[in-house]
Amino acid sequence: MQLPSHPLYSLQLTPRFDADGASSLAVLLRLQLPSFKAQEPVFIFNTFYGNVSGHPFKEKDIRSTDDEGPLHVRFQDLPSQGRDKKQHWLFTRKTRGNIILQFDVFPRKVDIRTPLGARIDLRRDQGGLHGSGSWFLPQLISDQVFTIVVKWNVPADAPESTRCVWSYGEGTKPLVRVDHSRIIRDTVYMVGPVRSFPEVSPGDDGAFSACYWFGSLPPNLDRLKAYNNALFPKMAAFFESSGKPYRIFLRKSIIGFGGTGFDASYMLEYDDRSSDVTDDALIKLFTHEMVHSFAALDPEEDGHENEWFIEGIFHLLRLQ
């Protein structure tokens, strides 16, 4: 496959399995860039965001090399921004040539006492895993455009029911996009016995929309899942953003109901009580989260979201 001429930034994910299904991910990040100076911040990582602690990495967990051999990664905490916390990842010597980072990520352990927060963390769900890159991947500090390649490396002994999905594509073939590095972080990854509607994605993912989940959905979610597919082309036309795929990921939680928007996707969380949610409330939530993906709005001065805009789009599209 001939790739575009932009520098390469690739992500390979290798799922691991145990008796209960997908259990962890082995991550390999490969970066084709000019050299970095010693102690220069290269990545930034969210250690706490949206009331959710990031993956609990330690410096020794990150195995890194360049063309000259091993690289030591050092973490540098940044001043807090409200409750949110970040850290820089930097190298202790000047780098040369391609850079490779390898590390393992494990799902967050949750229980009935886990505080509600942004739906970003990697979680186990009925035999599978799903989560946003913002919880377990550092973001490259760069405004440059890259050839982004995402590749699932599924072991030969993985369960036959295993499917792998990214916000921008499905399957084990390399998924290529020309974009900024943030799309690796600001998207959703899912692997395991994935179910979907429609059941099979087309060969061309352009302007395609689908829902993905594990297990069986509550009756109301199952009945209304097609609403997202009907809403997407209207939303894309309204925001003049045609030609891109859009994926809705559904996760079952011990407790929680709501959603979080990402690039070309959103994650909807439901629990056993969600079967009592009215159809109108579900449709409002579906629309709310999709609007967030298309229109990145800053909060009002009082910190509240722009509900007036989201509500307006909601009613406008329902009338079409």
Order of strands, sheet of 246-252, starting from the edge strand that comes earlier in the sequence = 195-197, 209-213, 246-252, 265-270, 258-262
Q: What is the pTM of this model?
A: 0.90
Q: What is the share, in percent, of the chain residues with pLDDT greater than 90?
A: 69
Range of the domain at 315: 8-319
Question: What pLDDT does residue 318 have?
Answer: 56
**By three-state DSSP, how is residue 187 classified?**
coil
Question: What pLDDT does residue 304 have?
Answer: 47
Q: What is the share, in percent, of the chain residues with pLDDT greater than 70?
A: 88
Cα atoms in the 13 Å half-sphere on the side-chain side of 69: 1
Which residues, including other chains, have CB under 8 Å from residue 16's CB and lie 6 or more apart? 22, 23, 24, 25, 26, 155
Considering the chain, what is the average pLDDT of its residues?
Answer: 89
**1 part of a folded domain:** no
Whichever domain contains 198, its CATH number is 2.60.40.3650
Q: At what angle do helices 307-319 and 279-294 cross, to 10 degrees?
A: 110
**142 part of a folded domain:** yes
Q: How far apart are CA 299 and CA 276, in angstroms?
A: 30
**58 part of a folded domain:** yes
**136 part of a folded domain:** yes
**By three-state DSSP, how is residue 2 classified?**
coil
Number of folded domains that form the chain? 1
Taking only the tens place, the pLDDT of each residue in 69-92 is: 999 999 999 999 899 999 999 999
Q: Examine the pLDDT at 155 and tell me if it is beyond 90.
A: yes
Q: Report whether 119 contacts 258 (CB < 8 A).
A: yes
**152 part of a folded domain:** yes
Question: What pLDDT does residue 284 have?
Answer: 85
**2 part of a folded domain:** no
**246 part of a folded domain:** yes
Question: What pLDDT does residue 81 have?
Answer: 85
Q: Examine the pLDDT at 174 and tell me if it is beyond 60.
A: yes
Question: What pLDDT does residue 207 have?
Answer: 63
Taking only the tens place, the pLDDT of each residue in 252-308 is: 999 989 889 899 999 999 999 998 889 888 888 888 878 777 765 544 444 345 555
Taking only the tens place, the pLDDT of each residue in 182-193 is: 999 999 999 999
**3 part of a folded domain:** no
